[in-house]
Structures are given as structure tokens and as C-alpha cells.
Amino acid sequence: MPEQHTQSLHIVILAAGEGTRMRSNLPKILQPLGGRPMLSHLLDTARQLNPAGIHIVIGSQSDAVMAAFTDTQDINWVHQAERLGTGHAVQQALPAIPDDALILVLYGDHPLVSLQDLESLTGTKTELSLLTMLPESPQGYGRILRDSNTSITGIVEQKDASAEQLKIKEVNTGILVASQKLLNQLLNQIDSNNSQKEFYLTDIFSIAHTRGIEIQAVVANDAIDLQGANDRRQLAMLERRYQQQQANQLMDAGVSLADPARVDVRGTVEVGRDVSIDINVILEGKVVLADNVYIGAGVRLKNVEIGCDTRVEDHSVIEAAQIGVNCNIGPFARVRPGTVLADEVKIGNFVEIKKSTVAKGSKASHLSYIGDAVIGANVNIGAGTITCNYDGVNKSKTVIEDGVFIGSDTQLVAPVKIGKNATVGAGSTITRDVAAETLAVSRSKQTNIRGWKRPVKKSD
């Protein structure tokens, strides 16, 4: 285990890039990855290092970036008015960092860097260390230059590299650790004598080598985790990598995935034993799945807690709801925010339920809308039932007590209450309360006309 530095750790995140290749009005570091901004993933990892300070260098669209993290109190925002290169960007953050601190430099568009690699890097004993990698293709990366003794002598950017240097496989990730004092000295010695006319942070390594300063390299465990996102294609590749990681975590927790490549996690997921998830499932926000839960194909869950032995059938959508034990939902059901289902409830195909509570054993098996309702235990709601909860201005509540039977094609015009064990005949429109143990029927009189002829299409 490498000896740990004794200085306080400060993290500098470079995030001033405009992201023009994204072709988006949204700043690059706010592009979504796993359902949240790229930068938030990197911040989660950075915070696990327990730094004394986090300094984020921002440039264009700085207001939008800061607005996305208004609930965060541990960030020192640093504005880079002119984009003069990575070396210049780091210099903007140095005044806020103590002279005796250790500095870790990260990049906002590299969100999946592993904690293990950063711990190895910050655990080195030298004053200057960098993280390198061995990708399948070094195209586009600065090459690591070493002498005959394999000591690092510098880094050359691809645009400035010779044909021989372009053959080098080991490349720079841009991530480094240095003492504040040394980093400040080295940055004051770099110049912009290169093809981009910028102050490259990487130039500090050749200067350090010339001064006889030891440079230590830590090779990343997996180069894929160090990929950046400069355009939509690279962002999509990061998304797939992230989702692969999430799928692996689910399977490690005991979840059976029909196809690990066809599940998307866009939040946090807590699972019990023997959870099974079919293909094309999206899990957003905070999702809790208890033992033996089955999630069918094409299901979308957002901020949902689902009790054990419950089945959510194909192509159902559940949001901001609490589902009890041994329930059955779908297929093609929509459970909207504010819904609480007790145990053994059935919400069947093409049923929409919103801001309602349903007690144990009740069921709406198909083709119904239930909104702003309180439904008791063992209630049966027939096909085509609608709680008419909205008068165009206000929402009103429907109360259906225990044991009620609602016939098919019924409209319950709220506010209305159906008493315990009452029955509502099919095809009724109920506008007044129904007493317990009562049959309520509201239908127009049926008329049968003998000898009636259907219209016949007229000839031209």
C-alpha cells in the first residue's frame, strides 16, 4: 500500500470547456449521464476522497452550471474569463488553495474515473504524479515520454508529436497530483509555444524532469473508465459503460437480468433477494425492490417502492408511488404520483390510477381511470369505470368503502361516497352518495323498436 501524503487534499476540476461538438445549448458538463449531469458523477467520486476543498473552474455558461448545483455547499467556483489552456485554468484555482496542500486535478467531462485509481494516485510518495492509461487506440491523446531508464521525461500532445512519438501506446489522462508549492512553480514556467498557442498543463512534466524532480506514474486499471465525452458519440459510449457498471452491481446484488445490456439505471436501486428484471426496463430516481419482485419488459419505474412478491407486467409505468406485497400491476398500467397500494391489490391492463390509496385485496382489472380516490378493502372496480374528479377548476375526492362492487362503464362524479358493501350497476352515472348495503342504478329506460331497418348506402 503506498504511503499516504500528510498534506490536506484539494481537488481542482477543470470544467470550462464549451462543448461545441455536442451541438447543444446545454453546457458539456451538464449533459446527462445515467439521468443526471456528467459532473455530478465525478463529484460523487471526488467526495469519497474526503478532500479539504473542491474547486471547479468554469467558463462559458457559468451561471447555468452553478444553477445546476445550487444545493451543493462544498464547491468553490472559479471563473476562467479567458480560455488560455489547461495550465492557465489550474492557475485560476491556486489562490484559494493553501501553500502546503496537495492538489488533485480532474476533468469535468471524464465522469467515470474510478475511486481505486484516484486512491492509488493520491497515495504516491512523490511530489508530482500522474495517471496514465493504455487504451486500445492512443489516437487523440498526449503520449508519455520516457528515457532509457523508463523515467518520465515529459508529455507530448498528439498535434505536436513526431511520427515516432505517435507510436507510443501509453498516454496521458490529464489527471495528476502535485503539491501546491511545486505546481505553482512549474505553471509559472510554462509557455504557449505550441500549435494551439495555449498553456498546456502537461508541459509541467518536461520542466520537472529538467529540474531533476521525480515523476511517478500510476497506470489506470481500465482505460475505458478514463474516456472523456466531447461529442454525442463519446457521450453515448460513456452511457453504455455506466449502464454496464450498474447492471453488474445489480447482478452482484442477486438480481436476475434477462439482458444486462437492456436495462437503464438513472438513479439508485435497492434490491432484495431473487428480484427478476426483463428487458428494456428503466429505473429512475430512488427505486426499492423487495424480495421476489418481478419487473416485466418495457417497464419504467421512477421513485418507487415495491413490496415483495409483486409483479409489474410489461410496459407499465409507475412514478412516485408505494406498492405493497403480492400486488399485480399491468400490463400497460400507469400508476401516477401519490398512489399507495396496499397488499394484494391488482391494477390491470390499461388502468390509470393517480393520487389514490387502495386497501388490501381490491382490484381494477382493466380499462379504468381512478383519480383522487380512497378505496377500501376487497373492492371490485369493473371495466370502463371513471372517477370524474375534475370539474375544470377543482379536484374532488371519491370514497369507495370496503366490499363495494362497481359495475362496468360506471362514472363516479366526485365528490361522492359509496358505502360499505354497496353495489353500483353497470352503465351508471353516480352523482350522489350511495348508502351501505345498497344497489345504485342510474340508466335511461331501454327501448326496443321492432321492424327497424338499418340505413342502406345510396348508389351514385
Q: What sign does the dihedral 169-174-179-185 (CA atoms) show?
A: positive
Q: What is the distance between the alpha carbons of residues 380 and 136, in angstroms, rounded to a whole number? A: 61
CA 154, chain centre distance (Å): 38
- Asked if residues 1 and 12 have their Cβ atoms less than 8 Å apart, the reply is no
Place of cell 370539474: 391
Closest to 129 (Cα-Cα) out of 189, 65, 216, 188: 216
Output the CA torsion 443→444→448→449 (10° steps).
Answer: -160
Helical packing angle, 180-187 and 203-210, nearest 10°: 100
Which residues are 61's β-sheet partners?
59
How many CB atoms are closer than 10 A to CB 246? 20
- Asked if residues 406 and 389 have their Cβ atoms less than 8 Å apart, the reply is no
Q: What is the distance between the alpha carbons of residues 18 and 391, in angstroms, rounded to a whole number? A: 49
- Asked if residues 275 and 257 have their Cβ atoms less than 8 Å apart, the reply is no
- Note the helical H segments in 277-382: none
Among this protein's residues, is 209 annotated catalytic?
no
Catalytic residue among 5, 88, 209, 366: 366
- Asked if residues 49 and 117 have their Cβ atoms less than 8 Å apart, the reply is no
Q: What is the distance between the alpha carbons of residues 457 and 460, in angstroms, rounded to a whole number? A: 9
SS3 of 87-132: HHHHHHHHHHCCCCCEEEEEECCCCCCCHHHHHHHHCCCCCEEEEE
Q: Note the maximum CA span of the chain.
A: 110
User: Which positions are catalytic?
Assistant: 366
